[in-house]
Amino acid sequence: MTFTVRRAEPADTESVREVGLRTWPVAYDGIVAPEFVEQGLAEWWSPEAVRRGIERGITLVAEAPDVIGMAGLGQEDGLWVMWKLYVLPEQQGRGVGRALLDRAIEALPEGTERLLLDVLVANEPAIRFYRAHGFERTDDAPSRDLGRELMWMSRDLRAART
């Protein structure tokens, strides 16, 4: 399968939203309560939230030719955080997630030493993916308490950029 990865524009808002709306119910089935999925879709995948992420942070899309995946990054406490990395369920396992992650790292400002993300501790497939791509659990993260359901992971980018 051939696909390209590019920076999202505000005109991509609905396509990016569609990735979340189609992916979240599948990704979190059996991991969290349906109410968590409903609330997350309403809050983090609303047209306003997606557009804000595109305009204020770094949002990438993978296309083949329609949007099949996305990554969204922003800052918290002066640290770069990847808030979203999702690939449509039928497109997973084809290198799209890896390509989005690689391009996300390339898009970070020069001198960025690490990339953080938060992940549900029960989301074993995601944790395996992130560990396979150099992320490790960390407590050295933004001051926001994630509770017991989420954990911070970090990837050292200094070696990747030398």
Q: How far apart are CA 75 and CA 58, in angstroms?
A: 10
pLDDT digits (tens, 9 = 90+) for 97-150: 999 999 999 999 999 999 999 999 999 999 999 999 999 999 888 777 777 889
160 band by pLDDT with thresholds 50, 70 and 90: low
Q: Could you give the count of Cα atoms lying within 13 Å of 114 in the half-sphere of its Cβ?
A: 18
Q: Which domains does the chain have, with CATH numbers?
A: 4-156 (3.40.630.30)
pLDDT digits (tens, 9 = 90+) for 35-73: 999 999 999 999 999 999 999 999 999 999 999 999 999
Whether residue 10 has a cis bond before it, omega within 30° of 0? no
